[in-house]
A = this chain, B = another copy of it.
Amino acid sequence: MTIPRLLVVDDDEETRSMLTQFLQQNGFIAHGAQTEAEIRDRMQAGRVDLILLDVMLGSESGVEICARLRREQDVPIILVSALSQDHQRMAGYEVGADDYVAKPFNPDLLLARVRAVLQRASRSASLVYRRQLALFRFGGWSYDGKRDEVLSPQGFQVALSQRESGLLKVFLANPHIPLRREEIQAALSERLAAASGAESEGTGRAIDMLVGRLRSKIESDPKDPQMLRTARGVGYVLAVDVTEESPA
């Protein structure tokens, strides 16, 4: 894949340029668009790998646009919204969005999501599915998103806590990519930190602890981890391949 090409759809000029710039700074190609027509223009004009679609587009509802786009083409879509109630979230999934991010969002979280969706998209060419329910296989292990259940290579079921399985999901979505602690933190606690460069989170070493505990459960030799490798000075990486199946 070449550099991913993103399309940021938002009717607020400021948000749009802020977003496109931020994404460009992080190695993506990002363009802006305001209307459904513009989206279609862009997609006509060239490849678009992912659309970041605001839910509140003045007159139009982003959700409806999403539904329409999805019916016709298979471009991955992340819905962006200030309304982060759960039922609305579900509505987004029903419509076929690949993910859903609340605004104001933590930039690290957004990055992680974008990468995750692109990853998935590049692997399983075309497949509208619901994020949570996939079945992952990695290094002999498997994780069933539907049951939130982990099976060891020997078939033993291993109980993970909420947070641990959350952590696992974050890594499964970003294999081979070193994740910084802040990114992990952000992806885990969907709490919206301040929008921009928010680097609060000076708490402590919770992530290290979490990783340690997860290792003790899914690494055959936790002292010498084969899957959850540490990237010194950076964070942690999942160093095995991940395959993802749509749920049965």
Contact = CB atoms under 8 A, between A and B. Distances in A.
Contacts of A96: 1-3
Nearest to A239: B147
Interface residues of A, number: 52
A231 B166 CA distance: 11
Copies in the complex: 2
A92 B132 CA distance: 24
A123 to B, nearest CB: 12
A155 interface: no
Interface string A83-99: 11111111011111100
Contacts of A93: 1, 3-4, 27
Given A61-B29, A86-B26, A133-B176, A232 B95 contact: no
A147 B147 CA distance: 29
A103 interface: no
A239 B146 contact: yes
